[in-house]
């Protein structure tokens, strides 16, 4: 069965009300917006290509911020836009997992 997207990326954007660690407190929303815009700008977005999606809690709060790339189910953490650029170039454009950022 063929997947609708080559890569489907889910960003944890969960915000915890009780003050516990969460991805939202670690810049996940800004990272999501950056990656979504960059993927679109590079012409990678759309059917048969890449989809960047919001997600609720992915239950990896202590390792956040996190995203997961399907269909391979590769879990990434990241610090800044340079990390996101590396994931886009290496994984989403060239199919090579960025091992240093894998959770």
- The whole domain housing 73 covers 7-101
Q: Domain containing 59 — which CATH number?
A: 3.40.30.10
Query: Ramachandran region of residue 55, left (φ > 0), alpha (ψ -120 to 50) or beta?
Result: beta
The predicted pLDDT at position 44 comes to 97
Q: What is the pLDDT of residues 76-85, one digit of tens each?
A: 999 999 999 9
For the cut 90, the answer to whether the pLDDT of residue 62 exceeds it is: no
Asked, for residue 2, whether it belongs to a domain, the answer is: no
Three-class SS state of 76? strand
Asked, for residue 52, whether it belongs to a domain, the answer is: yes
Q: What is the pLDDT of residues 11-60, one digit of tens each?
A: 999 988 887 888 888 999 999 999 999 999 999 999 999 999 999 999 98
- What is the tally of structural domains in the chain? 1
The predicted pLDDT at position 17 comes to 83
Three-class SS state of 12? strand
How many other CB atoms sit within 10 Å of the CB of residue 62?
10
Asked, for residue 1, whether it belongs to a domain, the answer is: no
Backbone phi and psi for residue 9, each to the nearest 5 degrees, phi listed first: -110, 125
- The answer to whether residues 64 and 12 touch, using CB atoms and an 8 Å cutoff, is yes
The predicted pLDDT at position 16 comes to 86
């Amino acid at each position: 069965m063929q997947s609708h997207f080559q890569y489907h990326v889910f960003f944890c954007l969960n915000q915890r009300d009780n003050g516990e660690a969460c991805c939202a407190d670690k810049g996940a929303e800004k990272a999501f917006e950056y990656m979504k815009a960059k993927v679109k700008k590079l012409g990678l977005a759309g059917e048969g290509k890449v989809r960047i999606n919001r997600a609720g809690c992915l239950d990896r709060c202590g390792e956040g911020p996190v995203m997961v790339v399907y269909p391979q189910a590769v879990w990434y953490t990241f610090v800044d836009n340079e990390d996101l650029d590396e994931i886009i170039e290496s994984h989403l454009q060239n199919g090579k997992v960025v091992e240093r950022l894998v959770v």
